[in-house]
Structure 1
Amino acid sequence: MKSLQFSDQLEQLDIDKIYQFLSNDSSWAQDIPRSVVETSLRNSVCIGGYLDDEQVAFCRIITDHATFANLVDVIVWPQYRGLGIARQLMQAVMAHDSVRHVRRFTLATADAHGLYEKFGFQPLDQPQSFMQIYRPDIYQAQ
């Protein structure tokens, strides 16, 4: 495999590719409007993974850079899965200045628990103390 590079520079992101995946192929953001994707990118720490000039991985970190962070939209495009890219992406995430000293770092996953556990993520100690407003069909309603 060629050398994998990671960057948090927004201008490097392939926004079309990210939008297409989220709106068409993800299980969590079906039909998300492009304007919402663009706003979310501008207001998050975004890390892209690149082989040469092609984006092969992506994630967003929603954080205040001091006390709290939430990892979302973790993507390794299907043709690049199974090559260890997700592990390397997570190494880049955990080394990023925006999260190195936060007290709480959260994420939600349907099927990648094993990956995230390798980086210290664990089930909530007190899930009864967490609450949410969850609108899974919000993009279809717009």
Structure 2
Amino acid sequence: MEEIVISDDKSLLDREVIYRFLASSYWANKRRRETINKSIGVYDGKKQIGFARIVTDEATMYGLCDVFIDEQYRGKGIGKQLIDSIVHSEKLSHLFGFLGTKDAHDFYHVFDFQIEEEKVMARIPDFLSNKM
């Protein structure tokens, strides 16, 4: 393993790595390539090994989306480094953070994300709800 680098430099992103992983995920497997724009990459040297997308108004809130670490690099604390760098970043640490997950609640709880079942609502886009 080379030096692990976490960066929001869009020029470093390997979009094919991102598209392949998201196409196999349960949460983004129907998302179009054009939709994935604002991102933070994780790299082993120059090889992209992880990803997270942040959507924010830069004033009050951010949404954490599409988080992954390549399977070969899991269990080494890299995902924790990624989320820690996001939630404690100068841009985001003072904002309210949101995310959706069906299987990683314990992981995100360590970073003070709390389940808010009675407060959160979601609207499924037309292309996923067959209303088109």
> Structure 1 residues 28-37 or 114-123, which shifts more?
28-37
Match of 2:88 in 1: 95
- Give the secondary-structure state (helix, strand or coil) at the position aligned to 2:118: helix
The CA RMSD measured in Å over matched residues stands at 2.2
- Pairing 1:26–2:39 present: no
TM-score by length of 2: 0.88
Q: CA deviation at 1:48?
A: 0.8
- 1:13-61, CA deviations, whole angstroms, 9 ceiling, x for partnerless residues? 11111011112x1111113222223xxx1xx3x2111111011111011
Q: Percent identity?
A: 35
SS of the aligned residue for 1:128 comes to coil
Gaps of 5+ in 1: none
- State the distance in 2 between where 1:137 and 1:30 align: 12
Aligned residue in 2 for 1:58: 51
Aligned match of 1:76: 69
Determine the C-alpha separation between the residues in 2 that align with 1:101 and 1:92.
Answer: 13
Residue in structure 2 matched with residue 15 of structure 1 by the alignment: 15
Partners of 2:126 and 2:77 lie apart in 1 by 30
Instruction: Give the number of aligned pairs.
Output: 132
For structure 2, the 5+ residue unaligned runs are none
* Aligned residue in 1 for 2:118: 128
TM-score, length of structure 1 as denominator length: 0.82
Larger RCO of the pair (alpha carbons < 8 Å, separation 6+): 1
Whole-Å separation in 2 of the counterparts to 1:137 and 1:121: 29
